[in-house]
Amino acid sequence: MLFFSYFKDLVGQEVTVELKNDLAIRGTLHSVDQYLNIKLENTKVVDQDKYPHMLSVRNCFIRGSVVRYVQLPKDGVDVDLLHDAARREARGG
Amino acid sequence: MSGEEDATVREPLDLIRLSLDERIYVKLRSDRELRGKLHQAFDQHLNMILGDVEETITTVEIDDETYEEIVRTTKRTIDYLFVRGDGVILVAPPLRTALG
């Protein structure tokens, strides 16, 4: 639940999602769910010459399980809140 | 309420909890390794957020004629990264080269 809350706070920010098949998609985080499925808006593939598949796609839904990384804005979220939540989660979970 | 923390290590995840805000080494699937600061967050799936990350990707090419193995590493740095736990193999303090 921790990261679900984290991503909910991040809605509206621009992120780059790197998938397990090496495709990287930059876009605005529109929504997220408990499985960390991600909906991105205004998407642009990072290496468009290498991956022309999604040239005309502007919005997409990404299944959480295919995500390898999400590159985040450095000033994303309140770090202290997250820190405390992480300690609690790791112990209680 | 703040400040009171259980410092007892009971289970493997507690070991990682001790590394919060420290630099760590993470081995991932697909011959990738990360070195970064375990920023604030991780969970029981080993999803985590790392800061100032260096990613190393190792590839081995075999020369057709000599059958020689060429090991290549590609590195890149990322400021702030969420890593999905299902790709994580192991988490450790950064490996130190032997200095004597």
Alpha-carbon distance of A19 to A47, in angstroms, equals 13
Complex prediction ipTM: 0.86
Give B77→chain A minimum CA distance, Å: 11
Structure tokens at B15: 């070991």
Q: What is the pLDDT of residues B82-98, one digit of tens each?
A: 999 999 999 998 776 54
Please list the ranges in chain A whose pLDDT falls under 70: 76-81, 83-93
B15 to each of A30, B22, B51, B92, how far by Cα in Å?
35, 12, 19, 9
Give B63→chain A minimum CA distance, Å: 25
3-state secondary structure of B34: strand
Q: Which helix (H) or strand (E) covers residue B72, if one does?
A: strand B69-83
Query: Given this model, what pLDDT does residue B60 score?
Result: 85
Query: Given this model, what pLDDT does residue A78 score?
Result: 65
Reported as half-sphere exposure (CB side, CA atoms, 13 A), residue B17 has a value of 23
- Residue B4 above 70 pLDDT? no
Q: Radius of gyration of chain A from Cα atoms?
A: 14
Q: Under an 8 A CB cutoff, do A79 and B5 touch?
A: no
Query: Given this model, what pLDDT does residue B33 score?
Result: 93
Ordered alpha helix ranges (H), B1-100:
12-17
Structure tokens at A93: 């979970």
Note if the pTM is more than 0.90.
no
Residue B22 contacts A, CB cutoff 8 Å? no
**pLDDT (average), residues B21-36:** 94
